[in-house]
Structure 1
Amino acid sequence: MNAPTSIKEFFESGYRQFLPHVSIDCAIFGFHDNQLKVLLLKMKNVAGWCLPGGFIHWTEPANEAAQRILQERTGISQVFLQQFYTFGEPERNKEPNLKDLIDSLNIEHTEDNWLFHRTISIGYYALVEFSKVIPTVDLLSDECCWWDMHELPKLLFDHSLMIGQALQTLRMQLNFHPVGYNLLPEKFTMPELQKLYETILDRPLDRRNFQKKMLSLGILERLEERKSVGPHKSPYYYRFDKQKYDQALQAGISFGF
């Protein structure tokens, strides 16, 4: 069956292509200008923003659906993507602002519409390199852009809760997963790596202890090139050693942040 080509068609017959009552929402994090950012969509004819998400095809595994949604919204694939929580409150998808959108479509039997039945959402979070992302709208939205985590707009549904839960999970993951590999450019300085961790944790870290801890893992390669940032301030560039990085993940690592 062909994918819906209009909002009206999606609301009226999307259940024929997608599994009803189960959806996916993705908290996509990026790091830019020393800010942790999250990718959000502005819904058409609705006063509010939401996380990129969608429904699962009838014969599609949930993880593949999450990868598909991620690629459709960012233009990239094969990134760090992890399921972090299931949101199942009975009234979580009851959004009064959607009535404006429904009214504009002249859809009959609104209360019986499949999108207004109880829906359980599987939450995923993704870590992407900001510069590689091409924010792309979906059928239900007219804007897709990055927002600073400290300056989020009005969010629809329970997506404020979702972002908070995703960030909490990300902070816990810092103890076991070197997230810089997913969020930073290929080469970076130690101060840039430390700033990333401080931004996610929302607290300062001791410079010497941080550097000692990161270098002790054996997953960073120091380059001969330096970054010129002023007199007497030319830190070396580093990059992740992909083979040692993968070996460290398999063996299990502990940062203790």
Structure 2
Amino acid sequence: MDIENYIPHLSIDCVIFGFHGEQLKVLLPKVKRLDTWTLPGGYVLKSEDLEEAAQRILEERTGLKDIYLEQFYTFGKAKRSTGEMMKKMLLVNDFEIDESSWIFQRFVSIGYYALVDFSKVVTKTGVYDEFCEWYDIHQLPNLAFDHAEIIQKALETLRYMLDDKLVGLNLLPETFTMKELQILYQTILDKPLRRDNFQRKILSMGILERIEKKFTGAAHKAPYLYKFIK
């Protein structure tokens, strides 16, 4: 971690959302030899724009390029990042540490949330990680630092921007039924929605193109498939 290459005291934490099995999930790596998980994150090279750094970090974790990203908050509490936790993560994994290193000092973190197609992600581990897996947003493991707070803030922002940002464009397959879209909205908002009201609202927005019926073996009952108008 050469200070000549990185911007000291600045980091990026990414909340990677995926949708699978009617669950909103978050991708989290587990720290080796500790009962602790973290958000995928990293430092910013002096030669990088912030979004370039975020895209690099995400590609390292998911194998995907050109991921949908939204910068949602800056986390800057004076005691948000503890050098002691970072030292513990390094020591249990047999890394040599320099007590005076900048990586043990205060950090301001830029929060990004990413929306990915769950089926396309190939999870990868980092140097500190034992494995990297998806977790239900309601059943998160023990998180280091203030990462639970970061996930909650990302979820709040996702809910607030649900209509404006058309999150289904990134979380659903290319084609989907109206029911599948409603389930996604209900899962993110964590509340039921009336079918007729939801369908009326979505169709009035002019964001969907109806393409064909989904084959189910009973043509007269088959639901229509839709896709987003990009």
TM-score (norm 1): 0.83
For the pair 1:33 / 2:24, whether they are aligned, the reply is no
Give, in angstroms, the shift of residue 206 of structure 1.
Answer: 1.0
For the pair 1:129 / 2:117, whether they are aligned, the reply is yes
- CA spacing shift, 1:191–1:53, aligned 2, 3 Å: same
Residue-by-residue CA offset, 1:83-139 (whole Å, 9 max, x unaligned): 0001111121116444443434363543x2221100110000011111111111112
State the alpha-carbon separation in 2 of the partners of residues 182 and 60 from structure 1. 25
2:224 is matched with which residue: 224, 236, 254?
A: 236
Kindly indicate whether the alpha-carbon contact (under 8 Å) linking 1:35 and 1:199 is maintained by their aligned counterparts in 2: yes
The amino acid of 1:149's aligned partner reads I
1:15 is matched with which residue: 3, 26, 44?
A: 3
Give, in angstroms, the shift of residue 150 of structure 1.
Answer: 1.0
Residue-by-residue CA offset, 1:197-238 (whole Å, 9 max, x unaligned): 000000011111111111112221112232428897521111
Give, in angstroms, the shift of residue 78 of structure 1.
Answer: 1.6
Q: In structure 1, what is the equivalent of residue 36 of structure 2?
A: 48
Q: In structure 2, what is the equivalent of residue 144 of structure 1?
A: 132
Aligned-residue Cα RMSD (Å) equals 1.9
- CA spacing shift, 1:35–1:142, aligned 2, 3 Å: same
State the alpha-carbon separation in 2 of the partners of residues 45 and 113 from structure 1. 23
Give, in angstroms, the shift of residue 71 of structure 1.
Answer: 1.2
State the alpha-carbon separation in 2 of the partners of residues 108 and 171 from structure 1. 41
State the alpha-carbon separation in 1 of the partners of residues 218 and 140 from structure 2. 34
The amino acid of 1:170's aligned partner reads L
1:107 is matched with which residue: 88, 96, 100?
A: 96
| Identity percentage of aligned residues | 52
Kindly indicate whether the alpha-carbon contact (under 8 Å) linking 2:83 and 2:105 is maintained by their aligned counterparts in 1: no
State the alpha-carbon separation in 1 of the partners of residues 87 and 206 from structure 2. 55
Unaligned ranges ≥5, structure 2: none
Helix, strand or coil: the match of 1:90? Answer: coil
State the alpha-carbon separation in 1 of the partners of residues 15 and 86 from structure 2. 21
- CA spacing shift, 1:93–1:144, aligned 2, 3 Å: same
Helix, strand or coil: the match of 2:3? Answer: helix
State the alpha-carbon separation in 1 of the partners of residues 61 and 97 from structure 2. 30
Kindly indicate whether the alpha-carbon contact (under 8 Å) linking 2:91 and 2:97 is maintained by their aligned counterparts in 1: no
Residue-by-residue CA offset, 1:225-254 (whole Å, 9 max, x unaligned): 324288975211111122xxxxxxxxxxxx
Residue-by-residue CA offset, 1:3-35 (whole Å, 9 max, x unaligned): xxxxxxxxxx44332221000000010000000
Kindly indicate whether the alpha-carbon contact (under 8 Å) linking 2:25 and 2:136 is maintained by their aligned counterparts in 1: yes
Kindly indicate whether the alpha-carbon contact (under 8 Å) linking 1:45 and 1:100 is maintained by their aligned counterparts in 2: no
The amino acid of 1:49's aligned partner reads W
State the alpha-carbon separation in 2 of the partners of residues 121 and 48 from structure 1. 19
Unaligned ranges ≥5, structure 1: 1-12, 243-257
Pairing of 1:1-257 with structure 2 (within 5 A):
13-94=1-82, 96-104=84-92, 105=94, 107-110=96-99, 112-228=100-216, 233-242=221-230
TM-score (norm 2): 0.92
Kindly indicate whether the alpha-carbon contact (under 8 Å) linking 2:213 and 2:222 is maintained by their aligned counterparts in 1: no
